[in-house]
């Protein structure tokens, strides 16, 4: 690009090719958004051809810059750019836009298309995950090597991103932390699906970002010189940058430019032909890439190889340095041989202990062995027990292992995804379980992308007590168990909690959620009952029956203690009773059928399950003959013990329901 002047005709020809490739893809699919790719083409051209450090031959090179298309509905833009600049994305894939099995999905998908850094679609998630990516880069720069990890995170975003509330949280935290390697380019086209943005959106976006501590510029999105100069200035800023580009949706479409018709539907054959005429192209020709454009934009591949080779030489010169060597081990997904050596073991005589307290002890033991284990809380670390005692706080200009998200749960979930995209990092975060309602879109995207954040969710049931029904999760266990690829673990005591942390660290193919108690729970005597390692298999026989098996009691979390107490009463009456601790449906279902049959034999249909949450989902384990003790209403404000008794989460109720079942 440095060899080409912006006024060179090949530049404009390339930009027009980007536009029309995207429009052709949407037209052939009869689905998609042509307007945004058309308006953003000049900006995308400058990014890929001049500013992004990227290598199409190796999209995952660790030293690359990151680019996020936050307005994922403009996916035809990124596919055009990836093809033209030499990524492994053929023209046939663009022709198969939005078709089953193609690499060109309706919204960009991480690990599905080479060169897509993160899955975007729900507006606001991309700009927010980018904050996490920028934070991850800053952490590596400050704790590993400043030259190796000086990469930037570029984001293309839209009016929809700016309207979603999560973007305000993102702007606030990024400005506070002075993430100077973060750059947004906002396509200010003033059009949404329903019409002009003035129908619902009239704020001064630039003023908002200035108030949050950002560098802000305004440019004409069609003026390459203006955009180029603004990008260059952004690279020199110590603050995050917002470039507001006044653009025109569907530019060049004679009847649909600057209208909502260019937003969420193809231009239509007649309008597309007229648009091609406006750009001096054959109105009948589709997916046209001249040899000159292919050669010009394909030069990105040669440039990228050179950039990576330069970085690799720097890396090779430093890879024996302790910090770089430790990072490389972590980036490969390797754990130190003794990573779990300091994890605590709890004894019954230690007294009642909330699983959130046991989790805090586990976090600090892990932090001593895992240098890239970082975490934080949405202003709840003292309550979540998520503070790493040996580390400092992440503050403006200086990263450390304790992240303070403030009261920003929406953003925290998305930042976790960005941190998970940072090679080597093992991020966790914490809040109250009820606030997964705020984090759900980001949790779902993490599960979809097979990222591996660890969520520490405390105050897991009505057992939190006096804060009342607004803070007492009822339906959350059931609803999150319904999410594919999310592993949820609700441990019964301190030692099950430690095992849950082991499972979370080892699970690198999806998010893990630890659901923990506020109230103290007795530590199970493992000299009398089975060891807690059964957590790794999701469910296990905690206490075997005496004599013939007549009844199985199943529970998770704080209700396991009641199952053990109920077993003692029932066994005393000669009823052969087994207790199964079932902290994780997902881990249990991953076991082979023979193990599941061993724990829950089909021959014993008399089963009673207890969990302080919705009963939905437990049917699979109790069968048609069994009973479920759970919640069918919201909770109430009262001490935890009174609530548990009132709603029937007691050993006595376990016994009563079991006897009724047995007749």
Residues involved in catalysis: 409
HSE (CB half, 13 Å, CA atoms) of 377?
18
Whether the Cβ atoms of residue 151 and residue 421 lie closer than 8 Å to each other: no
Q: Output the six-digit token pair for 17.
A: 């090719």
Round to whole Å and give the CA distance between 60 and 78.
16
DSSP 550-574: -EEEEE-GGGHHHHHHHHHHHHHTT
In this structure, what token pair is assigned to residue 459?
Answer: 């105050």
Q: Are 492 and 555 in contact (CB under 8 A)?
A: yes
Pairwise CA distance, residues 428 & 512, whole Å = 9
DSSP E strand boundaries for 72-152: none
**Alpha-carbon distances of 211 from 174, 412, 601, rounded to whole Å:** 12, 21, 63
Rounded-to-integer distance, Cα 144 and Cα 326, Å? 9
Burial 7-30 (b: 16+ CB within 10 A, else e): eeeebebbbbbbbbbbbbbbbbbe
Establish how many alpha carbons lie within 13 A of residue 152's alpha carbon, considering only the half-sphere containing its beta carbon.
Answer: 23
What is the C-alpha to C-alpha distance for residues 434 and 264, in angstroms, rounded to an integer? 35
- Going by C-alpha positions, the residue among 139, 141, 157, 159 that lies closest to residue 149 is 141
Q: Which helix (H) or strand (E) holds 288?
A: none
- The answer to whether the beta carbons of residues 297 and 14 sit under 8 Å apart is yes
3-state secondary structure 583-626: CCHHHHHCCCHHHHHHHCCCCCCCEEEEEEEECCCCHHHHCCCC
Q: Do residues 514 and 613 touch, judged by C-beta distance below 8 A?
A: no
Residues 577, 631: Cα–Cα separation, whole Å = 24
Q: Reduce the DSSP state of residue 368 to 3 states and report it.
A: coil
CA distances from 645 to 465, 469, 586, 637, 642 (A): 12, 16, 29, 13, 5
Other residues' Cβ atoms within 10 Å of the Cβ of residue 392: 11
Q: For residue 114, what are its two tokens?
A: 């080479």
DSSP 3-state helix, strand, coil percentages of the chain (rounded to 5)?
Answer: 45, 15, 40
Secondary structure of 421-456 as H, E, C letters = CCCCCEEEEEEEHHHHHHHHHHHHHHHHHCCCCEEE
What is the C-alpha to C-alpha distance for residues 156 and 245, in angstroms, rounded to an integer? 10
216: helix, coil or strand? strand
> How far, in Å, CA of 556 to CA of 19, rounded?
55
Q: Are 166 and 125 in contact (CB under 8 A)?
A: yes
């Amino acid at each position: 690009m440095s060899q080409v002047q912006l006024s060179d005709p090949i530049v404009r020809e390339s930009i027009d090719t980007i536009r029309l490739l995207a429009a052709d893809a949407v037209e052939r699919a009869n689905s998609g958004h042509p307007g945004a790719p058309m308006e953003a083409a000049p900006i995308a051209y400058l990014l890929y051809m001049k500013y992004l450090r990227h290598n199409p031959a190796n999209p995952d090179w660790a030293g690359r810059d990151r680019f996020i298309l936050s307005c994922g509905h403009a996916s035809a833009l990124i596919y055009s750019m990836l093809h033209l600049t030499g990524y492994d994305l053929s023209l046939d894939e663009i022709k198969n836009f939005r078709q089953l099995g193609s690499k060109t999905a309706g919204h960009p998908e991480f690990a599905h298309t080479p060169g897509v850094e993160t899955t975007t679609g729900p507006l606001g998630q991309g700009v927010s995950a980018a904050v996490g990516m920028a934070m991850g880069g800053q952490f590596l720069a400050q704790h590993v090597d400043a030259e190796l990890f000086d990469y930037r995170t570029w984001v293309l975003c839209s009016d929809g991103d700016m309207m979603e509330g999560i973007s305000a949280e993102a702007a606030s935290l990024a400005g506070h932390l002075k993430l100077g390697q973060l750059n947004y380019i906002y396509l200010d086209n003033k059009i949404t699906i329903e019409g002009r943005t003035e129908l619902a959106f009239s704020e001064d976006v630039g003023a908002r970002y200035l108030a949050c501590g950002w560098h802000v510029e305004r440019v004409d999105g069609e003026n390459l010189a203006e955009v180029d100069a603004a990008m260059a200035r952004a690279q020199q800023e110590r603050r995050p940058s917002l470039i507001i580009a006044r653009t025109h949706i569907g530019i060049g479409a004679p009847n649909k430019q600057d209208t909502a018709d260019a937003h969420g539907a193809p231009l239509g054959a007649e309008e597309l032909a007229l648009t091609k005429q406006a750009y001096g192209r054959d109105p009948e020709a589709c997916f046209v890439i001249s040899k000159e454009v292919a050669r010009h934009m394909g030069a990105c591949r040669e440039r990228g190889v050179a950039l990576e080779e330069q970085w690799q030489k720097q890396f090779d010169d430093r890879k024996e340095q302790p910090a770089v060597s430790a990072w490389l081990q972590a980036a490969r997904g390797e754990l130190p041989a003794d990573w779990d050596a300091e994890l605590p073991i709890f004894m019954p005589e230690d007294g009642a202990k909330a699983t959130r307290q046991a989790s805090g002890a586990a976090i600090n033991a892990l932090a001593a062995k895992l240098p890239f284990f970082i975490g934080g809380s949405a202003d709840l670390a003292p309550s979540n027990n998520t503070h790493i005692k040996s580390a400092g706080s992440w503050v403006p200009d200086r990263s450390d292992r304790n992240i303070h998200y403030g009261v920003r749960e929406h953003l925290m979930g998305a930042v976790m995804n960005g941190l998970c995209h940072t090679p080597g990092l093992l991020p966790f975060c914490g809040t109250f379980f009820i606030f997964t309602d705020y984090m759900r879109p980001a949790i779902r995207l993490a599960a979809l992308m097979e990222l591996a954040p660890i969520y520490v969710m405390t105050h897991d049931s009505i057992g939190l007590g006096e804060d009342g029904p607004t803070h007492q999760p009822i339906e959350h266990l059931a609803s999150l168990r319904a999410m594919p690829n999310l592993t949820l673990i609700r441990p019964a005591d301190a030692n099950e909690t430690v095992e849950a942390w082991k499972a979370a660290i080892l699970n690198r193919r999806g998010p893990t959620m630890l659901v923990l108690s506020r109230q103290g729970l007795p530590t199970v005597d493992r000299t009398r009952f089975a060891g807690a390692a059964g957590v790794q298999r999701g469910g296990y026989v905690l206490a075997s029956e005496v004599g013939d098996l007549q009844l199985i009691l199943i529970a998770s979390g704080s209700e396991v203690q009641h199952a053990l107490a109920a077993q003692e009463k029932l066994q005393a009456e000669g009823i052969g009773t087994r207790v199964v601790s079932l902290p994780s449906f997902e881990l249990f279902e991953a076991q082979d059928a023979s193990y599941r049959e061993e724990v829950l034999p089909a021959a014993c249909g008399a089963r009673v399950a207890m969990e302080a949450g919705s009963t939905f989902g437990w049917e699979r384990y109790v069968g048609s003959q069994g009973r479920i003790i759970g919640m069918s209403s919201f909770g109430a404000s009262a001490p935890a013990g009174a609530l548990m008794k009132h709603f029937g989460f007691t050993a006595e109720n376990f016994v009563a329901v079991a006897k009724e079942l047995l007749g």
